[in-house]
Structure 1
Amino acid sequence: MIKLFSLKEEKAKEAAAGSSTAKVAPGLIRMQKDMSELTLDHGCKLAFPNGKEDLMNFELTIKATDGIYRNGKFVFKVTVPSAYPHDPPKVQCLTTIYHPNIDMEGAVCLNILREDWKPVLTIQSVIMGLQFLILEPNPDDPLNKEAALHMTKNKQQFEQLVRQTFKGRQMRVGDKLYSFPCFE
């Protein structure tokens, strides 16, 4: 009991004096480890808009080399919460894309960012998941139901529609008109 009381006193003294060593959040420590082990494919690039000191916020650019979205360049904003790796990163697509698993506002439907997230997953896992989502869209788990319906009913027509959006055209999705970036 006396030791417990003396520990409390020590903690109070440390708090009053102000600790000279700043504590690093566990999420940041894990991000430092993830970044040191990260290997990017030639079609991927990371940018740190707030500077490289802020590992918890970055942009990922994926240049698709195969599949329906080949030659497209898609930018994703990744925000890593302080509770990482217990909570998954938040990902938003900043590039307008007609995709079954990405809605027109940029929300991304990727199972490892939701119910399948586990703390053993890394930023490398998230990047690979996004690359796979661009390569192989999944119309069975849609966020953009209109795109999923197009893809399921007539895949060839869906691919032609995606190619049209790559020309920088506008397209009505639902009741709203969207402008797409030109990739040609």
Structure 2
Amino acid sequence: MQKERSANKSSSTPTLSVAFLRAKKDLQDYEEIPGITIEYQSSNPMQINLKVKPSEGYYKNGIFKFKCEIPEDYPNRAPEFKCIPKIYHPNIDLEGHVCLNILRNDWKPSLSLQLVFAGILHLFLQPNPNDPLNKDAANDLAKYPLDFKKNVERAMMGGYVKDEQFDKVLEGNFNTAHTRYYY
């Protein structure tokens, strides 16, 4: 009889997955990174909204939002990030997929969400043309850095680069009269 009670008792208590507990711990241990804002519901650390606001570089003054999904087998598998606005970036494709080595081949269970957040910020401070998802942007960055800079500015204002229109991601009201591009 006692075995039946303990079996019934344990089945009525919700069990939290290892992924849930680890994600919750990673978020509790998170130390603020300048330029990064995270939002999540404490009841569900498996879905995180990330906001990146670079303070320097090509993407300065932009606001880039990401959705992060923590997989059920986290930390054995890397979290999945998707950039919400359509942006012009060598390491982020037009669908928002992110190319960051620690989210792919270099993922280890010992890595934390904090490190991934810092890695995503780093992509905006130092875009990498050698590991591209957007080959056009990577080619421009590698071969024509001045054109790349103009393309980033145009795209961040919600303009077109080649035949592709991008989402406006600039923070605040900027006087952009001096950065008009006609093609």
- Classify the TM-score, shorter chain: 0.7 to 0.9
Amino acid at match of 1:179: F
Q: Does 1:84 align with 2:74?
A: yes
Q: 1:139: how far off?
A: 0.4
Q: 1:41: how far off?
A: 2.1
Q: 1:18: how far off?
A: 5.9
Amino acid at match of 1:82: E
Q: Is the 8 A contact 1:86 1:119 kept in 2?
A: yes
Q: Deviations over 1:75-115 (max 9, x none)?
A: 01100011110010001011221010000110100000000
1:163-174 aligned at under 5 Å gives the runs 163-172=153-162
Task: Name structure 1 gaps, 5 residues minimum.
Answer: 1-9
Q: Distance in 1 between matches of 2:101 and 2:169?
A: 29
1:31 corresponding residue in structure 2: 23
**Higher radius of gyration, 1 or 2:** 1
Q: Does 1:95 align with 2:95?
A: no
Normalised to the residue count of structure 1, the TM-score between the two structures is 0.85
Q: Is the 8 A contact 2:64 2:169 kept in 1?
A: no
2:13 corresponding residue in structure 1: 21
Identity over aligned pairs, percent: 37
Following TM superposition, the consecutive aligned residue runs of length 4 or more in structure 1 with deviations greater than 6 angstroms are none
Higher RCO, Cα 8 Å, sep 6+: 2
Q: Distance in 2 between matches of 1:18 and 1:65?
A: 50
Residue 128 (structure 2) aligned to one of 117, 127, 138: 138
Q: How many residues align?
A: 170
Normalised to the residue count of structure 2, the TM-score between the two structures is 0.85
Q: Is the 8 A contact 1:170 1:180 kept in 2?
A: no
2:178 corresponding residue in structure 1: none
RMSD, aligned α-carbons: 1.9
Change (3 A) 1:182 1:23: closer
Q: Is the 8 A contact 1:102 1:144 kept in 2?
A: yes
Change (3 A) 1:172 1:14: farther
SS in 1 for 2:44: coil
Q: 1:117: how far off?
A: 0.1
SS in 1 for 2:149: helix
Q: Does 1:112 align with 2:99?
A: no
Q: 1:166: how far off?
A: 2.0
Q: Is the 8 A contact 2:158 2:165 kept in 1?
A: no
